[in-house]
Amino acid sequence: MSDCKRSYRYRAFDYFVRAIGFASLFIVMSAIYRQDYDPGSNYIHPKHGMQKNKAKDVNNVSILTKTVVKLSVALNWRREISTDLVIQSKERSNVCAALRKIRLLIESLRKRMRPTHFLAVALNSGGVQQRFLKLKQNNLHAQLPGIDQELFISENCIHITLGVYVLLDDAERKQAISELELCRQWLVDLHTPFELNIQGLEIFNDDPSSTRVLYARIESPELQQFANKCKKHFQTTGLYAADNNDPDSIKLHMTLLNSRYTNKKPNKNESNSFDAREILKRFGDYDFGKAQCNEVHMCVCKSYCEGDDFYKTTGSLKF
């Protein structure tokens, strides 16, 4: 083969891989923001991105170059989107190169996505819930500046977050539950149910006059061990959401107030925060009591509580 033909083939392959990149990006994005009836399903429906073709159904989309690789994907824009990709080529190296490119694009996209699920310990019952309600009542009765009812989490949603995840479809949700079941192995050397001591208030930043989250401290060495091992395990699966926290340790906390809960939109010169100085001064050592943990739940993000319900769950691990 002449150098000219070889150069042409390499250029053709490079152009094809770029085409695969754009196609796979569209495929992944079409599987991210479409609203589905299943909890935790968030997708972009193709009709929003391609208005000209919104009346058509594409049952088979394929990209074909004359010389190298064929990529085919099954799509149904009405309800179902297949997650199966088929890469075909006469040369194995071309298939591997195309697959690597697709995986890198998907991994890059995941890192920019917001979490869809979180692993949680429910604390919305018993003495912890009653003491939370008392704390809320005391704060509202005191009429502290900038503190209103909307800042408080619902008493039905009190929880500890053990990890956050990006689960794009049914297959990934099922995989996450299977991976969670594998975490059972780390319970063998731990005493269950886990004993929790919940006492004291803290914030994440250094300025209590302008903070976004107020939380209660959690002391539970064995739950801490279990949470850290779960995080480490899920990080190897590609399902764990990227974060800026300690890569090896979970910060055990029970959120009480969060500026995201309020519907008020700050002015241009105002930050989306609240003043926690007086709360910390009056209730900094507040005791929520003790609790036990014998179950963790894979919950859907932003599936806000209705009535007496907790977050919507995709699955649980009982022990």
User: Both 42 and 76 in a single domain?
Assistant: yes
Give the pLDDT score at 13. 53
| Reduced 3-state DSSP string for the chain | CCHHHHHHHHHHHHHHHHHHHHHHHHHHHHCCCCCCCCCCCCCCCHHHHCHHHCCCCCCCEEEECCCCEEEEEEECCCCCEEEEEEEEECCHHHHHHHHHHHHHHHHHHHHCCCCCEEEEEECCCHHHHHHHHHHHHHHHHHCCCCCCHHHECCCCCCEEEEEEECCCCHHHHHHHHHHHHHHHHHHCCCCCCEEEEEEEEEECCCCCCCECEEEEEEECHHHHHHHHHHHHHHHCCCCECCCCCCCCCCCCEEEEEEHHHCCCCCCCCCCCCECCHHHHHHHCCCEEEEEEECEEEEEECCCCCCCCCCCCEEEEEEC
Percent over 70 (pLDDT), the chain? 68
Q: Which of 76, 111, 146 lies at the terminal end of a domain, its last residue?
A: 111
| Residue 135, pLDDT above cutoff 60 | yes
Q: Return the bridge partners of 165, or none.
A: 117, 240
- Tens-digit pLDDT profile for residues 145-192: 889 999 999 999 999 999 999 998 899 999 999 999 999 999 999 999
117, 119, 121, 123 alpha-carbon torsion, rounded to 10°: -20
User: Both 141 and 216 in a single domain?
Assistant: yes
User: Both 122 and 65 in a single domain?
Assistant: no
- Tens-digit pLDDT profile for residues 98-115: 889 888 888 888 888 999
Please name the residues in contact with 68: beta carbons below 8 A apart, sequence gap of 6 or more.
9, 12, 13, 16, 89, 91, 94
309, 314, 57, 26 alpha-carbon torsion, rounded to 10°: 110
User: Both 164 and 60 in a single domain?
Assistant: no
- Taking the whole predicted model, whether its pTM rises above 0.75 is answered as no
Give the pLDDT score at 302. 87
The whole-number average pLDDT for the span 281-307 is 91
CATH number at residue 280: 3.90.1140.10
Q: What is the mean pLDDT of the chain?
A: 79
Residue type, 239: L
User: Both 205 and 104 in a single domain?
Assistant: no
User: Both 79 and 210 in a single domain?
Assistant: no
User: Both 161 and 287 in a single domain?
Assistant: yes
User: Both 188 and 141 in a single domain?
Assistant: yes
Give the pLDDT score at 65. 39
Q: Which of 111, 131, 158 lies at the terminal end of a domain, its last residue?
A: 111
Q: Report how far apart, in Å, the C-alpha atoms of 180 and of each of 172, 201, 227, 315 are.
A: 12, 30, 11, 9
| Residue 318, pLDDT above cutoff 50 | yes
Q: Return the bridge partners of 152, or none.
A: 257
User: Both 252 and 299 in a single domain?
Assistant: yes
Give the pLDDT score at 103. 84
Contact 28, 112 (CB under 8 A): no
Give the pLDDT score at 312. 94
User: Both 145 and 258 in a single domain?
Assistant: yes
- Angle subtended by helix axes 221-235 and 170-182, to nearest 10: 130
Q: Name the pLDDT band for 41 (thresholds 50, 70, 90).
A: very low
Give the pLDDT score at 266. 62
The whole-number average pLDDT for the span 2-25 is 52
Neighbouring CB atoms inside 10 A of 118's CB total 18
Q: Which of 107, 146, 127, 122 is nearest to 25 (CA)?
A: 107
Give the pLDDT score at 9. 55
Tokens (6 digits) for 129 = 């819930």
Rounded CA gap, 40 and 301, in Å?
7
Lowest-confidence range among 70-74, 224-228, 310-314? 70-74
Lowest-confidence range among 70-79, 131-140, 233-242? 70-79
Give residue 23's domain range.
3-111
Give the pLDDT score at 161. 97
- How many folded domains does the chain comprise? 2
Q: Say if residue 264 is exposed, middle or buried (CB neighbours under 10 Å; 0-12, 13-18, 19+).
A: exposed
- Tens-digit pLDDT profile for residues 200-220: 999 999 999 999 999 999 999
Q: Which of 86, 111, 136 lies at the terminal end of a domain, its last residue?
A: 111
User: Both 107 and 132 in a single domain?
Assistant: no
User: Both 42 and 139 in a single domain?
Assistant: no
- Tens-digit pLDDT profile for residues 239-289: 999 765 666 789 999 999 999 888 766 665 567 899 999 999 999 999 999
Give the pLDDT score at 263. 72
Q: Which of 70, 104, 67, 66 is nearest to 85 (CA)?
A: 70
| Residue 21, pLDDT above cutoff 70 | no
